């Protein structure tokens, strides 16, 4: 029994000596509240509905969904956020509102699509910064959007349905990344 105890002590000592005791560069992210996560999931759902309006080239529905997106995102209970996380949320919320406002104030589908590209960048950041998510999401990329500058968007399926070209080039794009459920 003493031998086993000594062996365990030696093993623990070796493991401690070999471990990397350098401090983490970033503190662990605090857990988000259930209310925060639920409202964030609703935000993503409304974004996906807006994306679908872009895919089907329906500017009026896009305007409605952009307005709804601001409403549901403003309802995310962010009062428990502190420090850098709070700043990140406030910056991303401001960018989301700005892009959504551009979508809802025009009926020009091409202008809406440009604003949707900005919005997509923000929603992708929000999903990455404030997950875990209830369902996996996929980051899709169209290399030909906006005169070959390229643009990303989120989808809840891997199937490519391009919001930047609609029926003109519905299948143009690839799955570039995923944001998993944690």
Bridge partner list, 138: 155, 178
Res 135: pLDDT: 86
Model confidence at 72: pLDDT above 60 = yes
Secondary structure of residue 133 in the 3-state scheme: coil
Secondary structure of residue 75 in the 3-state scheme: coil
User: What string of H, E and C letters represents the secondary structure of 102-118?
Assistant: HHHCCCCHHHHHHHHHH
Res 133: pLDDT: 77
- State pTM to two decimals: 0.81
Asked if 134 and 180 count as a contact pair (C-beta separation under 8 A), the reply is no
Phi, psi of 116, rounded to the nearest 5 degrees: -65, -35
Q: What is the pLDDT of residues 20-64, one digit of tens each?
A: 443 334 344 456 788 888 899 999 999 999 999 999 999 999 999
Sorted by where each begins, the domain ranges of the chain are: 33-179
Asked if 181 and 136 count as a contact pair (C-beta separation under 8 A), the reply is yes
């Amino acid at each position: 029994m003493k031998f086993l105890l000594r062996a365990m002590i030696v093993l623990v000592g070796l493991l401690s000596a070999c471990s990397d005791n350098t401090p983490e560069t970033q503190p662990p992210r605090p857990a988000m509240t259930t209310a925060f996560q639920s409202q964030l999931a609703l935000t993503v759902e409304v974004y996906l509905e807006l994306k679908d309006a872009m895919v089907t080239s329906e500017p009026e529905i896009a305007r409605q969904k952009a307005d709804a997106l601001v409403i549901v995102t403003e309802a995310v209970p962010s009062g428990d956020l502190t420090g850098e996380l709070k700043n990140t949320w406030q910056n991303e919320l401001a960018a989301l509102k700005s892009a959504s406002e551009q979508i809802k104030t025009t009926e020009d589908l091409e202008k809406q699509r440009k604003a949707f590209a900005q919005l997509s960048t923000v929603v992708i950041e929000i999903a990455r910064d404030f997950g875990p998510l209830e369902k996996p999401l996929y980051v899709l990329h169209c290399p030909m959007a906006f005169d070959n500058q390229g643009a990303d968007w989120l989808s809840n399926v891997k199937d490519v349905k391009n919001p930047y070209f609609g029926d003109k080039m519905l299948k143009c794009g690839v799955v570039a990344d995923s944001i998993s459920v944690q």
